[in-house]
Amino acid sequence: PPKATNALVQSTCAYCGVGCGVDITINGEQATSLTGSPEHPANFGRLCVKGTHLLDTVDITNRLLVPEIAGEQVSWDTAISKVAGEFNKIIKQHGPDSVAFYVSGQLLTEDYYVANKLMKGYIGSANIDTNSRLCMSSAVSAYKRAFGEDVVPCDYQDLEHTDLIVLIGSNAAWTHPVLFQRMQRAKQINPACQLVVVDPRRTATAESAEQHLAINPGTDAALYNGLLNFLAEHEALDKAYINDNTQGFDEALAEASHWDMAKVSQFCGVSQAQLQDFYQLFLRSKKAISMYSMGINQSTSGVDKCHAIINVHLATGKIASLGSGPFSITGQPNAMGGREVGGLANQLAAHMDIENPAHRDLVQTFWQSPHIPTEQGAKAVDMIEQMQSGKIKAVWVMATNPLVSLPDHNQVAKAFEQCEFVVVSDCVADNDTLAYADVKLPATPWLEKNGTVTNSERRISRQRGALAPAGQAKHDWQIMSLVAQKMGFSGFDYQHPYQVFTEFAALSGYQNAGDSKRVFDMSGLARLTLAEYEQLQPVQWPIKGPIKAGVQKSARVFADGQFATVSGKAKFFAVTPQLPQQKVSKAYSLVLNSGRYRDQWHTMTRTGAASALTQHLAKPYIAVNPQDAIKLGLTEHQIAHVQSQTGELFVPVQVTDTVNFGECFMPIHWNGQFSSNATVSTLYNAVVDPISGQPELKHTGIAIEKA
Rounded Cα gap, residues 405 and 697, in angstroms: 10
Answer yes or no: are the C-beta atoms of 163 and 316 closer than 8 Å. no
**Residue 627, H or E segment:** helix 626-632
48 is a contact residue toward ligand SF4 (CB under 6 A): yes
Distance of CA 639 to the CA centre of its chain: 32
**Which residue of this chain has its Cβ atom nearest to ligand SF4 in the complex?**
51
Phi and psi based region of residue 328 (left: phi greater than 0; alpha: psi -120 to 50; beta: remaining): beta
Nearer to ligand SF4, 453 or 680 (CB): 453
Query: Among 10, 11, 20, 302, which residue sits at the site for ligand SF4 (rule: CB under 6 A)?
Result: 20
DSSP characters over 253-274: HHHHTT--HHHHHHHHT--HHH
DSSP characters over 132-180: GGGTTHHHHHHHHHHHSS------GGGGGG-SEEEEES--HHHHSHHHH
CB of 14 to ligand SF4, least distance (A): 7
Nearer to ligand SF4, 20 or 348 (CB): 20
Nearer to ligand SF4, 182 or 212 (CB): 182
How many CA atoms lie within 13 Å of 479's alpha carbon, on the beta-carbon side?
Answer: 33
337 is a contact residue toward ligand SF4 (CB under 6 A): no
Answer yes or no: are the C-beta atoms of 127 and 377 closer than 8 Å. yes
Rounded Cα gap, residues 352 and 357, in angstroms: 10
Nearer to ligand SF4, 17 or 169 (CB): 17
Question: Strand 30-36 vs strand 325-328: parallel, antiparallel, or unpaired?
Answer: unpaired
Answer yes or no: are the C-beta atoms of 193 and 164 closer than 8 Å. yes
CB of 159 to ligand SF4, least distance (A): 14
CB of 237 to ligand SF4, least distance (A): 36
58 is a contact residue toward ligand SF4 (CB under 6 A): no
CB of 513 to ligand SF4, least distance (A): 35
- Candidates 12-20, 64-72, 196-204, 619-627 — which segment interacts with ligand SF4 by CB under 6 A? 12-20
Query: Among 41, 51, 326, 542, which residue sits at the site for ligand SF4 (rule: CB under 6 A)?
Result: 51
15 is a contact residue toward ligand SF4 (CB under 6 A): yes
Other Cβ atoms within 10 Å of 90 Cβ, number: 18
Radius of gyration of the chain (CA): 24
Query: Among 24, 47, 198, 683, which residue sits at the site for ligand SF4 (rule: CB under 6 A)?
Result: 47
18 is a contact residue toward ligand SF4 (CB under 6 A): yes
Residue 361 is which amino acid? D
Nearer to ligand SF4, 160 or 260 (CB): 160
Nearer to ligand SF4, 35 or 658 (CB): 35
Rounded Cα gap, residues 560 and 173, in angstroms: 33
CB of 319 to ligand SF4, least distance (A): 25
CB of 680 to ligand SF4, least distance (A): 21
Nearer to ligand SF4, 40 or 201 (CB): 40
What track of x and - describes contact with ligand SF4 for positions 343 through 362 (by CB under 6 A)?
--------------------
- Candidates 42-50, 235-243, 431-439, 485-493 — which segment interacts with ligand SF4 by CB under 6 A? 42-50
- Candidates 46-54, 164-172, 541-549, 606-614 — which segment interacts with ligand SF4 by CB under 6 A? 46-54
CB of 210 to ligand SF4, least distance (A): 23
* Residue 428 DSSP label: B
- Candidates 10-18, 113-121, 195-203, 573-581 — which segment interacts with ligand SF4 by CB under 6 A? 10-18
Answer yes or no: are the C-beta atoms of 326 and 153 closer than 8 Å. yes
CB of 695 to ligand SF4, least distance (A): 23
Answer yes or no: are the C-beta atoms of 41 and 538 closer than 8 Å. yes
Q: Where are the alpha helices (DSSP H) in 470-559?
A: 476-486, 497-510, 530-535
CB of 613 to ligand SF4, least distance (A): 11
Q: Where are the alpha helices (DSSP H) in 28-128?
A: 49-52, 76-94, 109-116
Rounded Cα gap, residues 622 and 625, in angstroms: 10
Rounded Cα gap, residues 381 and 390, in angstroms: 14
CB of 16 to ligand SF4, least distance (A): 3
CB of 176 to ligand SF4, least distance (A): 6
* Residue 11 DSSP label: E
Residues 133-192 that bind ligand SF4 (CB under 6 A): 176-178
597 is a contact residue toward ligand SF4 (CB under 6 A): no
**Interaction site with ligand SF4 (CB under 6 A):** 13, 15-16, 18-20, 43, 47-48, 50-51, 176-178
